[in-house]
Structure 1
């Protein structure tokens, strides 16, 4: 009997994040209408910002899985809601970029596929980038 392949592991946007973005868009529109004061430019800017926030939330709802791994390679989100399959042979390295700025440390998971570089943060993965990098290193065939 052939061995079963390891199950696919996925990292996704936490469900609360798109809800928070949509709530922010609605609150921004409500405030803009409440404090309008007849200023059309201010209202237009608030509407544009709310639409951008709603679009950002829509991306989270359309493509919640940002990264998936299986024995054959990884799948990453690309563009607004597209996906790109990367076989393990195409992946040159997986690292975590840590940068300190203004007293805060930010981490990004970097997946270098030679012709493309994929950067994913904690809020996109729903986990710390270092933990995801470790899981990717463990999943990669030797």
Structure 2
């Protein structure tokens, strides 16, 4: 909830700065309004579609685009990894879901928790679903 509120405050700040600094310049004012509207839309997406990923025994569903959803069966998923990068003292982690034709990237803000924890949980769920759909046979089974 903190991130959408910060985005709305940022949009209001950009709009206020645009109104104060436009000084009759319609282009500056239009750019400020456009930037504020974009930030507000970004915040509304976070408020209206807060769940970015769901998982179950048959696969996962990820948000695609502004509010669309894409269903991926476990068989479609080639890899679940965490991309860790550091730049100028800032470290970022993204959950990467590689589905061959598409790559889905989700950060901490979208997941609400550490991407490494989500990756581990998805891998465990995937392993459990494979065990249920393809149980191992013992030597005693016919």
TM range (shorter): 0.7 to 0.9
> What is residue 115 of structure 2 aligned with on the other side?
129
**TM-score, normalising length: structure 1:** 0.83
Greater helix fraction, Structure 1 or Structure 2: 2
**Is residue 63–residue 82 contact of structure 1 (8 Å, CA) maintained in 2?**
no
SS of match in other structure, 2:52: strand
Matched, 1:91 2:77: yes
Deviation per CA, 1:13-66: give whole Å up to 9, x if none: xx2221221122122212322333222222111111101101111221232110
> What is residue 9 of structure 1 aligned with on the other side?
none
Greater RCO between the two (CA within 8 Å, min separation 6)? Answer: 1
Q: CA deviation at 1:93?
A: 1.0
Where structure 1 has 5 or more consecutive residues not aligned to the other structure, the ranges are 1-14
**TM-score, normalising length: structure 2:** 0.83
Where structure 2 has 5 or more consecutive residues not aligned to the other structure, the ranges are 131-142
Matched residues, number: 128
CA RMSD of aligned residues (A): 1.3
